[in-house]
Structure 1
Amino acid sequence: MANSKYASTRETTNFARVARIILGPCTDVLCAVLTNEICPSSLSQKVKTHLSMLPKWKKPPITKEQEKVIHNGNYLDFDITLLYFSLRNISSIQPHSKQWGNEPIPSDRSVSANIERIRLIRNEYGHCTDISISDTDFNKKVLDISSIIQDLEKHLGTSTVYQDAVVKIGNCCMDIEQESKYIKELLDLNKQIKDISVLYKRDILRWEEDDKVFLETHNFPEMLNQVRNQPYVTFVGAPGSGKTATARHIALKLQKEGYEICPVKEINKIENYCNRNIPQVFVIDDVLGIFGLNEHELHMMNKYREILRDPINPETKTLMTCREAVFKNEKISECILEKPENVVNLQSRQNSLNDDDKKNLLQTYTLDRDLLSSTNLASSSRMFPFLCKLYSNKKELEFYGPTFFLSPVPCIIKEMNSLKIHNKHQYASLVLLMVNGNILSENILNNENDGTNKIQKRHNLFVEMKRNILRKCKVSSTTESFEFIDALLQMEGTYTKKNDNEFTFIHDSMFEIIAYHFGHQFPELILKYASSDYIANNIKIVQNTIQKGKIEMEGKNDKFGEQIHENEPIIDLCIHLHESKSQMLAERLFKDVQDGEFYAVFGNEALKSQSLLQSFIAVLEKHSYYNLHSLLLTELEDSKLCKWNNEPNKAATENMKSFCLKHEAHYRVMNHRFNGFPKLTKSVRGIAWIILFGHHQILQYILSQMIREIGNVDDLFVNSFNKHFQPCSNKKQDVTEKMSSFNHSTVGEILKISTFGEGYKTDIDKDKYTVAGADSEPNVDTHVDTSVDKYCEPVIIEQCRLLCLGCYSGDLNTVQILLQHVNADTLNYKCDDEKIFRIKNPFIIALYVEVSTDVERVTSGYYNFVFVSPEVLVGESKWRDALKNPEFQKRHRLIVEAHTIIHWGEGKNQEAAFCEWFGHIGDVRSLCLKVPCLALTATACPSHRRKIMTKLCFRKNACVISDIPERTLK
């Protein structure tokens, strides 16, 4: 042979046979499965639809070359990677029990599990460095593959042609040329991985350069030890606190121990590049979003959690970074990233920088160790590591001295003022980098593209954007691209960094500072060109003429000293628009609605501003009812389903506190239905977000237009699940008659004080409905459809769903409007159809007590049911005092989930208790012995039961009821 690497031995022949089986029968059987699932002529369009569903910022999962292969429509040209992509993402095959991308359990012989096994086998041998297989391993592998193919052929209902092929290849003779051919062909399948490895190596070289100034702080050994003991770790901290630098430093240390470093942008990429034969360390930056929580990334994290928890190679590690503000979002409270043993919080007491660390950092960057006094060291910004780097590279910052480390943002803002006047090209290049989404290159500036419609559209937008930006920066539109590139190069290491031919900001905080600085001067351009994510998180409405965090833009080189830290307002890097500019923001929000960004728009706190709300309705008035119907009342196309991606800095409803209730609301707003377990189908309409976030004025406007155009509100309740059902002709009691019996004042008060975690008291009995009256609220639409009781059950189900969403909003007016248009039976509707997911009576919701909850309203017996955690009930003095109140003791009964007292409230084997407050529930009884107490448990044995009764101060003759007497308790 020309290459001794492929010298023939019995072991290399075995490897060649396995390669031939993978390239032959394994590939062919997947091809047959795909043909059975999807007609080749329709795959291309389905793939286009799938790719269009992806968020705009998300990198496509297949390359342009792979797209071309798909569009050719010949499955015989597909390799295993492309077949797997199509079967997983395009076909209707259900995921196996461990979910796509994870190794199936051995007993799972489902179609998806066997597809997964073929992918893993292909990766195992495609990544192999040793191209030999022993006879024992070969025979075992052939048996495994035969079993997989046998299961798939049973699914296809065909002959055993592929099984026979495996047997034939396993016994056939192979000459040297054939061996070489199949081995090379299999290893060539790994070409993409090798190309990625080249990019990895480039990244790692840059990491090594940056790592020269990394300082191992006082608690670094503990952080490293935590990484060694866990399969995944998330580094949490403020911007500039060293999260990324720490993760990369640890990855480089592991590399010296034989690990392969794999920087990836998304968790699902791990399954493409994982290698069971060598330990790897995957590094993912800003794993859950930058400006706020990205719910798509959170969904992906939950979907691929097994990859983190149980990697294919037990030694493999995944290191992630997350901003502290994002990590604190309550929506990740049940995410696997939350586990304390898997979190390194750089701002914690153990890990935060001490004075020695800070002095050593100053010295590492060749700065004076004594630059800051002890007082200043203690008060310095949490961005200290980043500030050291910036201060050392930018000599002009020395002017500010210690103040820069105490209050850096105003200092950088002042530098931008100066840059805007004295170096317009540099300033303009930073603004272009910002508005183009933190990426800029000479190719982008020259508008080079591949001619596709999507790229052409982006090209046209960039040309317009560049022209407008340069005009505002007072830079000629004829400026050559290389001049901007030179300007970015001059700022490399200070404000920018270069990756190959592309520039990005040196840190995310620089993006926000530039956007803030330019946006305060020219908010109309930010509103026009910034991402919907940025708009949702960083644009605020103020109602007075003085803007918060106002900055002076004159760019004068005034003396600027310690007074910055003492007198400058805190700059939150949000652009505060005066309400006179509400129309501009309303126009932008409507554009985002057209793009399907419903959560970013209707979940935006700014839309609660009356000036912006009225401006938004004015924008709606410019469009016909039929345009609004298409936008808000028609079910979204697949390309617009995954848009619940952004989390505003403050939730649009401050009362969204309960994770469980929000989880319920999410399923209701997506309108999930079971279509053969475990598959869920959706029927998503924009109106659901309007109702969920309590925008009753928008809802009322849409309904008034609906009644004006079609004479009723039927369109509000039409979806794909009920569109074939017309309103029933047999009319029941008029809804307005039943509404006359509604206790308006009670529910009105309840809804006014309720929150999304605080429920609504109900006084429903057999003959009365406790809901709001139609004639008592001036905001309620006067055009009431008095024949709403004409609807059939499938429509009532949709009415119930929307009414539930209205209740979740905590907005009385929203609920009142809906009540005027729903069937009276909706209020007591009970759904027995298992396919309909989470449809409940909207008014059976109780109060969940928090620290801030009104004590008087609870002690007065206002609520039927009150749920309260022990840390609030026992740990807060105002609630302990409430327990002693005689009136409270007359009205209340105490019900305890008793097993928590010992299971959660006590530690085991010298471990701390899961929640020690549960162990103090007995204190409640000691404060209110006259209150009857019912302890419920399904798990307590007699010894535990006695312990529970003792802790709860039960008498010895307390009644014990066994609901399942035949159950044996030991």
Structure 2
Amino acid sequence: MATKEDRNFMTVRLALDRPCTNLLQEVLRQHVPEKDIHKLLNDPAKKRKIYPLLQKLKQETILYPPTGVFCGSYAAFDLSLLYVLIRNLAGIPDHKTGWGNAPDINDNSSAANIERIRLLRNKYAHCSTSHLTDKELKRERKNIISCIHGIEKTLPAKSTTFEDAAEELFLAAKKQEDLDEIITKCQEDIVYTLNTQADHTARMDSMHNELKNTQDGIYAVHERLDGHEKLLLKKTQDLPETEYEKSIFSQWEEDDAFFISTRGATIVDELIKTNNLVIVTGHSGSGKSAILQHIALKFREHGWIVKPVYSFKEIHDAYKYENFEKDRCIYVFNDPIGKESFDEMSFNEWGPYREILSILIERAKLLLTCRRSIISDPRARGFFEPEQGNIDINKQKLVKVDINDSHCKLSTDEKKIMFKKHFPDEKLTNEDLNQICKIDMYFPLLCKLCRGEFMKKKDFVNFFEEPVPVLKTEIENYKVKDRETYCGLVCLILSKNNLCLHELEKNTELFSKILNLCELSPNTSPTTILSKLQPLCGFLVKNIGDKYFFYHDFVMEVATYVFGSEHPKETIDFADVSFLRKRVSVQKSISNDPFTILLDNEHINNLVQRLLKELSGDSFVEVILNPCLRNAHVISCFKQQIKELCDIKNLGFITKTQLLNTEKQQFQNLLNESLYTRLEFVGSNTVCSPLSVLITFRHDELSKTYLDILRNKKSYFRRIVDAFSSNILKKKQY
């Protein structure tokens, strides 16, 4: 309920918005009638002067409509617009200190009183508090009545219409205040009567309380028994939770506090009860992970072992080296074959573990999430799908659920419940709430992001409709206003979205370069930078154990796009080579997502230098899989730099074989299956050289350039190349 001071404040606001505004409308009308104002507005000199002022008020289209001229009424004009028009069009002489300035206390001209009304309106429109004491109300009432009286007596009608309206408004407010006091007194009397009645029924209440206490005691015994049972279950579990896993579950529980059960979540929950392999698909930010986390936490409460995993090798190792109870273990794996887009390297990883996973799923549950665009990619064909003549996967009860299809997608009512769950105290208009609930993309994620302290003063509707520009602006602002926070985000980007103090302190060279890039002192400590990420938790980042991650893939995509577009050269120089493969492109294409960092021609040489450098290291397969290596301009620059390195000392790495972690049995299994790819062929070799991989992936121009240079060297190298080429041909035939 509003306080007396709150009502005093609103009374002053109403006096300024109604009688004062109506008075200024009449002042303007007396000097410039509505039917004549368009003549002044369209005068070139006056238009140049007045149009910028209207733009600041965002009201230029009222007086300068797209077609025709203004032919309306002043009745809808607010006080700010009226002041601009009176000052610039009415021809009223300046007051002593001039328009726009506080008038002299002894100046009683119309201009001075109009100025005073404007200043009062600005004071109460932008006031940091909404309270006004009786003494302050009395003072402001006197000021407002004085201004109205001074202006109204200069009008031709010589009436007191507006002064009377203001006095009536203040009088009505006083009557309402008296009525409120009477109501308050009545309420106090009612409370006293009710308390008296309560005393008369005290004995009966006492008996009810005794009965309730007895029931509570019984419930407490049941709760203790349930607690002992749960404790016993935990003690008998074979796989104790690590501290890191406990941190993950803590993060899940924090998010789960705002979870609501939707149609999609209910369907997934029922399917998981009767199926061991469930893949939940949908758009980015649609709540896939939240649904699986909620369900996994419920299983965990009932004594199940829940294992969050990040690779198929983790699942294999857990099954191979740890004991777990049959039908009591759940693995949760988000984005197994790519986060932002289909990742051939990740997809290829699951193949060698296909057989062991088929066995494991007969004894445990495997819950996966995958973006709809990735699972529907033709290259993902065969991912956990039954092969012809093989019913093993069907036995394991594979189910795919798209939570964005017509049966599962969020309804408008579910969106409203979800929004109010996150913002119970937010007083949105029905129009704004309905506008927000029209949004489908990222809706559950945007509810989470808006919950953070940094978004509480933002325009909800704007953020839900345009989340990317809002996030981009927020991140760009850190670069200007808070360079240490921006530095923390850059460290997170260049650490492959997995940042901890130990790694930052160990990689001093990269940290120094990032400090220089962010224009910070070289003496800035890693601890200082990491401390700046803590306030961003729940908005841009999350903290699990001693590590920081981006809050969601969507946030990471926006952040990397902002940094990569602003600093393409530094991105090329410092980012992980797998990041360059997934997020950087040199040409536009239909398949490019909106967060792909597009390089200009001037940076292609930098990219080629980095790729050429990595070609001699352990990540040469990542280089050869990079789509940029198919671009004609990149190939041309690559060939030129190869020729510049034609000294055999600098080119020796191209034929140097390196050890690959592939078992013979895995290779034999791949040969027996129809999904055998070039990447699997490369993985089938225990050792491999960059040149052999270039040839395998049909980088013909680059392969030919290397081979031509090597053939022109001494006979020793010709023998190496001949033997190497013969070996490659044999492998192709095989």
TM-score (norm 2): 0.59
Which residue of 2 is the match for residue 606 of structure 1? 628
Q: Identify the match of residue 709 of structure 1 among 707, 713, 716.
A: 713
Which residue of 1 is the match for residue 330 of structure 2? 281
The residue type paired with residue 216 of structure 1 is S
Q: Partners of 1:411 and 1:332 in 2: how far apart?
A: 33
The residue type paired with residue 601 of structure 1 is V
Q: Partners of 1:335 and 1:220 in 2: how far apart?
A: 23
- Cα pair 1:594 1:631 within 8 Å, conserved: yes
Q: How far is 1:603 from its partner?
A: 3.0
Whether 1:298 and 2:347 are equivalent positions in the alignment is yes
Q: How many residues align?
A: 477
| Cα separation, partners in 2 of 1:532 and 1:337, compared to 1, 3 Å | farther
- Cα pair 1:625 1:709 within 8 Å, conserved: no
Q: Secondary structure at the match of 1:465?
A: helix
Q: How far is 1:594 from its partner?
A: 1.6
Whether 1:718 and 2:723 are equivalent positions in the alignment is yes
Which residue of 2 is the match for residue 260 of structure 1? 305
Q: Secondary structure at the match of 1:427?
A: helix
Q: Secondary structure at the match of 1:718?
A: helix
Query: What is the 5 A alignment of 1:311-710?
Result: 311=360, 314=363, 316-336=364-384, 341-366=398-423, 367=426, 368=428, 370=430, 372=432, 377-378=437-438, 380-396=439-455, 399-445=458-504, 447=505, 459=506, 462-542=507-587, 572-624=594-646, 626-627=648-649, 630-638=652-660, 663=676, 665-666=678-679, 668-669=681-682, 682=686, 684-710=688-714
CA RMSD of aligned residues (A): 3.5
Which residue of 2 is the match for residue 649 of structure 1? none
- Cα pair 1:263 1:283 within 8 Å, conserved: yes
Which residue of 1 is the match for residue 729 of structure 2? 799
- Cα pair 1:234 1:321 within 8 Å, conserved: yes
Q: How far is 1:627 from its partner?
A: 4.5
| Cα separation, partners in 2 of 1:214 and 1:578, compared to 1, 3 Å | same
Q: Secondary structure at the match of 2:537?
A: coil
| Cα separation, partners in 2 of 1:472 and 1:381, compared to 1, 3 Å | farther
Q: Partners of 1:700 and 1:351 in 2: how far apart?
A: 53
Query: What is the 5 A alignment of 1:735-750?
Result: none
The residue type paired with residue 729 of structure 2 is Q
The residue type paired with residue 468 of structure 1 is K
Q: 1 or 2, which has the higher helix percentage?
A: 2
The residue type paired with residue 485 of structure 1 is L
Q: Partners of 1:313 and 1:800 in 2: how far apart?
A: 40
| Cα separation, partners in 2 of 1:585 and 1:425, compared to 1, 3 Å | same
Range that drifts further, 478-487 or 227-236: 478-487
Q: Secondary structure at the match of 2:694?
A: helix
| Cα separation, partners in 2 of 1:613 and 1:494, compared to 1, 3 Å | same
- Cα pair 1:363 1:369 within 8 Å, conserved: no
Q: Partners of 1:660 and 1:474 in 2: how far apart?
A: 54
Q: How far is 1:668 from its partner?
A: 4.9
| Cα separation, partners in 2 of 1:372 and 1:595, compared to 1, 3 Å | farther
The residue type paired with residue 365 of structure 1 is H
For 1:600-632, what per-residue CA distance to the aligned partner results, in whole angstroms no more than 9, with x for missing partners?
A: 323322223232222212222232353566333
Which residue of 2 is the match for residue 270 of structure 1? 318
Q: Secondary structure at the match of 2:676?
A: helix
Q: How far is 1:289 from its partner?
A: 3.4
Q: Secondary structure at the match of 2:451?
A: helix
Q: How far is 1:669 from its partner?
A: 4.7
Q: How far is 1:666 from its partner?
A: 4.4
- Cα pair 1:602 1:689 within 8 Å, conserved: yes
Q: Partners of 2:675 and 2:333 in 1: how far apart?
A: 27
Q: How far is 1:503 from its partner?
A: 1.8
Q: How far is 1:278 from its partner?
A: 6.4
Q: How far is 1:395 from its partner?
A: 4.6
Q: Partners of 1:496 and 1:218 in 2: how far apart?
A: 29
The residue type paired with residue 383 of structure 1 is Y
| Cα separation, partners in 2 of 1:471 and 1:798, compared to 1, 3 Å | closer
| Cα separation, partners in 2 of 1:572 and 1:640, compared to 1, 3 Å | farther
| Cα separation, partners in 2 of 1:218 and 1:581, compared to 1, 3 Å | same
The residue type paired with residue 691 of structure 1 is I
The residue type paired with residue 627 of structure 2 is E
Moved over 6 A (4+): 127-130, 639-642, 659-662
The residue type paired with residue 605 of structure 1 is P
- Cα pair 2:561 2:596 within 8 Å, conserved: yes
- Cα pair 2:660 2:687 within 8 Å, conserved: no
Q: Secondary structure at the match of 1:402?
A: helix
Q: Secondary structure at the match of 1:526?
A: helix
- Cα pair 1:435 1:530 within 8 Å, conserved: yes
| Cα separation, partners in 2 of 1:473 and 1:397, compared to 1, 3 Å | farther
The residue type paired with residue 418 of structure 1 is N
| Cα separation, partners in 2 of 1:348 and 1:475, compared to 1, 3 Å | same
| Cα separation, partners in 2 of 1:299 and 1:691, compared to 1, 3 Å | closer
The residue type paired with residue 317 of structure 1 is K
Give the share of equivalent positions with the same residue, in percent.
21
Q: Partners of 2:461 and 2:700 in 1: how far apart?
A: 51
Q: Partners of 1:227 and 1:629 in 2: how far apart?
A: 55
Q: Partners of 1:705 and 1:395 in 2: how far apart?
A: 58
Which residue of 2 is the match for residue 222 of structure 1? 267
| Cα separation, partners in 2 of 1:583 and 1:322, compared to 1, 3 Å | same
Q: Partners of 2:325 and 2:356 in 1: how far apart?
A: 12
The residue type paired with residue 321 of structure 1 is T
| Cα separation, partners in 2 of 1:241 and 1:269, compared to 1, 3 Å | farther
Q: How far is 1:593 from its partner?
A: 1.3
Asked which structure has the greater RCO (Cα within 8 Å, sep 6+), the reply is 2
Which residue of 1 is the match for residue 63 of structure 2? none
| Cα separation, partners in 2 of 1:252 and 1:307, compared to 1, 3 Å | farther
The residue type paired with residue 538 of structure 1 is R
Gaps of 5+ in 2: 1-232, 387-392, 665-671
Q: How far is 1:535 from its partner?
A: 0.1
Q: Secondary structure at the match of 2:303?
A: coil
The residue type paired with residue 334 of structure 2 is D
- Cα pair 2:348 2:679 within 8 Å, conserved: no
Whether 1:247 and 2:292 are equivalent positions in the alignment is yes
The residue type paired with residue 572 of structure 1 is P
Q: Secondary structure at the match of 1:287?
A: coil
Q: Partners of 2:723 and 2:637 in 1: how far apart?
A: 28
Q: Secondary structure at the match of 1:219?
A: helix
Indicate the structure (1 or 2) with the bigger Cα radius of gyration. Answer: 2
For 1:677-727, what per-residue CA distance to the aligned partner results, in whole angstroms no more than 9, with x for missing partners?
A: xxxx656332333234443331232132123214696544424xx9xxxxx
- Cα pair 1:128 1:277 within 8 Å, conserved: no
- Cα pair 2:307 2:332 within 8 Å, conserved: yes
Q: How far is 1:440 from its partner?
A: 2.7
For 1:745-778, what per-residue CA distance to the aligned partner results, in whole angstroms no more than 9, with x for missing partners?
A: xxxxxxxxxxxxxxxxxxxxxxxxxxxxxxxxxx
| Cα separation, partners in 2 of 1:371 and 1:498, compared to 1, 3 Å | farther
Q: How far is 1:299 from its partner?
A: 4.4
- Cα pair 1:362 1:369 within 8 Å, conserved: no
Query: What is the 5 A alignment of 1:56-95?
Result: none
The residue type paired with residue 343 of structure 1 is K
